[in-house]
Amino acid sequence: MAKERIDDLGIKGYQIIQKEDGFCFGMDAVLLSDFAKVKRGGNVLDLGTGTGILPILMEAKNPQAASFTGLEIQSEMAEMASRSVKLNHLEQRVRIVEGDIREASTIFSHDSMDVITSNPPYMIGNHGLKNPKEAKAIARHEILCSFKDISMAAKKLLKNKGVLYIVHRSFRLAEILNQLSKDGLEPKRIRFVHPYRDKESNIFLLEAVKGGKSRMIVESPLIVYDRPNQYTDEIYKIYFGNSKHAEAYLKE
């Protein structure tokens, strides 16, 4: 059995269980949890939740929301995510459901979610090297679901004017915008993330509204590094407010 570790999330004392040699959450999930917004009483669903990082971080940042659910197809990952929920005593606020994104509309009621989040697999076909470890490959490549599956699930499960938040690779932007529009999920807000100020964007954060009107805000770029091994003040703030404790944490 693969060895596990418990990592500090740096917010509200929350922790998460991860496998030492398995797929671990990255900065993308943290950035998405900061970008996504939830109204009071909102019900939130995370598609492809993996370790459960997004529901746990979203709960910490949105105490006004009603509930958070993570859907995960891999049994071992879903079980581990459930243990992280219990570790943080969040059983009344967060639940993990084992299931396939492609069958999400049979697991959850139609038009029932206020917010859906997803940090989906980025790679298709031969984009990048497939990780020989199955869990990592599933997390990074469109093996068990495609972005179309995520978009269609959001179309069915979101309430009218419900919001989908995703983080994805910039080179797939045109394809993703086209798919969302086909499914009646109108892109409304986007933020491009750049590793350095003088480098092109490698990922983006996107908000799309079910039944929204055609009008999109392009926010100011988010820069990750000021210089090698030195994160920008905004990255520190996203992780830990203004605490420089972030520096040691981010370098782990």
The per-residue pLDDT for range 31-77, each reduced to its tens digit, is 999 999 999 999 999 999 999 999 999 999 999 999 999 999 999 99
Residue 126 has pLDDT above 90, yes or no: no
Amino acid at 91: E
pLDDT in tens, 183-220: 999 999 999 999 999 999 999 999 999 999 989 999 99
The mean pLDDT value of the chain amounts to: 88
pLDDT in tens, 136-149: 444 443 445 899 99
CA 201/CA 192 separation, integer angstroms? 6
Q: Which residues contact 86 (CB under 8 A, 6 or more apart)?
A: none
Q: What percent of the chain has pLDDT over 70?
A: 85
Q: Could you tell me which of 125, 120, 123, 189 has the C-alpha nearest to residue 153?
A: 120
CA 170/CA 125 separation, integer angstroms? 17
Residue 103 DSSP class = G
CA 221/CA 139 separation, integer angstroms? 26
What is the pLDDT at residue 24?
A: 79
Q: What is the pTM assigned to this prediction?
A: 0.88
- Sign of dihedral through CA atoms 22, 152, 188, 42? negative
**Torsional class of 10: left (φ above 0), alpha (ψ -120 to 50), beta (otherwise):** left
